[in-house]
Amino acid sequence: MKTIDLITKKEQEFISLSKKIWFHPELRFQEHYSSKVQQDFLEENGFTITNNLADIPTAFKASFGNGSPIIGILGEFDALSNLSQKESISYKEPHPDMENGHGCGHNLLGVGGIVSAITLKNYLEENRISGTIIYYGCPAEEGGSGKTFMQRAGVFNELDLALTWHPSSINGIMSKPSLANIQASFKFRGTSSHAAISPHLGRSALDAVELMNVGANYLREHVTSNARIHYAYLNTGGTSPNIVQSEAEILYLVRAPQMKECKEIFERVKRIATGATYMTDTTVELNFQKACSNFLPNRALEKLLHQSLEKVGAPIPSEEETKFATEIWNSLTEEQKDNAHITNQSFGFEGNEDEFNEKPICDFISPYSGGGNDIMFGSTDVGDVSWTVPTAQLTTACFANGTPFHSWQMVSQSNSTFAFKGMISAGAVMADTAIKIFQDPELLKPIQEEFKNHISKYPYQNPIPKEVKPYF
């Protein structure tokens, strides 16, 4: 029986599950509903559930089978804040019942993994062969690095390899290493005072935050060009300008190609914060929130994954879906349209961009050449899994060409018929790859040799200190 045939009879159940998660957009580590509906669905389909992994209430695994190979499928289900949007429309209109939204397609991502896991469970049952499939429900990819906390607890050590995917505007292999990152907040404390009568008695925490930002902005010129330094105000100390602000807080996110570089830049940011306290006679408290490592590609596993992608084929849009994609494309600014290729390339597109000229939606598969030295300038906690076991990622087209990530356009499309086609295709591709390995475990040898060769040269260390707890 073909892999895709094992999926067909449950297709509407998978779509219904994805819709449930879309209509309950939950933020990092708060995905109680999304985690529960996935666990219930998997348990109903014959999986054994283990929850509260790594002492994270929304993290779980669902297991089936016995013996080796042991293959893991990584799933996500968290949403993004302040991205409320109605579904399947081509104009911005917040949803009246939701403050947040699935602006990165994680309602699709997790369920696509479940498509794969259940397909593989059926395959193992029907063929009565040795092997174990484990689906991991991984919370807080957005700003929480849930998988990095899970890796620190040894959750993925049992695996022979891991597979995952991410929805995008293309069909291909996510072959580029990502950026490592560190996120921490800096809370400054000073002394309040009347800003007119006794300003000399005040010590402004807000001044300290602003001076820190000035220092960090000067730092940008003196770090590697592939590094990134972002910040956001968490607390400006109130809304009364006639009070010297006694408290203020800023959140920093530092990225770099390697964790070693990231840590070095972060230490410089910390020193800038200390300098700001000297200039303002204030104090600062550091709250290390999370970190994640750069993604380590495994070319041998990616080749198998790409073969399966070519076998399953690209999701094909209907006339109505193509019309909707055109409307989404037309909702973009000219600058967004001109830069669509950047996002496509970062997700692994290696073809001719001219192929997209007359296509508002991708209906073909990108060729795969095995990487190169280019970087995907985002970050993912899949990185820490990839330093633990051989890991590969694919992407399937679920959105119109040029759709910006973390946008209302992506929220709208994440609950659309074409997005569900991409989700089902991704599940089929991962299942087909795993079936090859269940049929011939010898395929593991070059995959694991490549992995061991790399980590023997570059030993891995989890980037989150032991004392740091998930930021619930």
Tokens (6 digits) for 298: 């495994």
Whether 467 is in a domain gets the answer no
Q: Are residues 345 and 401 both part of a single domain?
A: yes
pTM strictly above 0.75: yes
Q: Is residue 276 part of a domain?
A: yes
Q: Are residues 163 and 310 in the same domain?
A: yes
State the total domains in the chain.
Answer: 2
What pLDDT was estimated at residue 207? 98
Q: pLDDT (tens digit, 9 = 90+) per residue, 127-142?
A: 999 999 999 999 999 9
CATH of the domain at 240: 3.30.70.360
Q: Are 392 and 430 part of one and the same domain? A: yes
Residue 282 DSSP symbol: -
Q: 465 lies in a domain?
A: no
Task: Verify that 121 and 173 share a domain, yes or no.
Answer: yes
Domain boundary among 232, 263, 292: 292
State the amino acid at position 29 in one-letter form.
F
CA 380 and chain centroid, separation = 5
Q: Where are the alpha helices (DSSP H) in 281-317?
A: 299-312
SS (H, E, C) 83-101: CCCCCCCCCCCCCCCCCCE
- 255 phi, psi to nearest 5 deg: -130, 150
**Are both 287 and 319 inside the same structural domain?**
no
Residue 388's CATH number: 3.40.630.10
One domain for residues 208 and 283: yes
Are residue 219 and residue 236 in the same domain, yes or no? yes
Query: Are 262 and 340 in a shared domain?
Result: no
Largest CA distance in the chain: 83
- Residue 364 covered by a domain: yes
Residue 466 domain flag: no
**What pLDDT is stored for residue 356 in this prediction?**
74
Is 471 contained in some domain?
A: no
Do 40 and 163 reside in the same domain of the chain? yes
Residue 87 resides in a domain = yes
Q: What are 33's two structure tokens?
A: 């509903």
Residues 308 and 451 both lie in one domain:
yes
Query: What pLDDT shows up at residue 55?
Result: 96
Q: Which long-range contacts (CB under 8 A, 24 or more apart) does 213-219 make?
A: 213/250, 215/272, 215/275, 215/276, 216/252, 216/269, 216/272, 219/265, 219/268, 219/269, 219/272
Question: CA 316, CA 404: separation in Å to the nearest integer?
Answer: 21
Same domain for 191 and 173: no
pLDDT of residue 372: 67
Contact in structure between 382 and 174 (CB atoms under 8 Å): no
Together in a domain, 41 and 163: yes
Query: Which of 261, 292, 323 finishes a domain?
Result: 292
Quick check: is 463 in a domain? Answer: no
Cβ-based neighbours of 173, under 8 Å, separated by 6 or more = 302, 305, 306, 309, 348, 366, 368, 392, 393, 394, 395
- State which residues form the domain around 103: 3-177+294-457
Low-confidence ranges of the chain (pLDDT < 70): 1-5, 357-358, 371-372
Among 267, 292, 317, residue at a domain's last position: 292
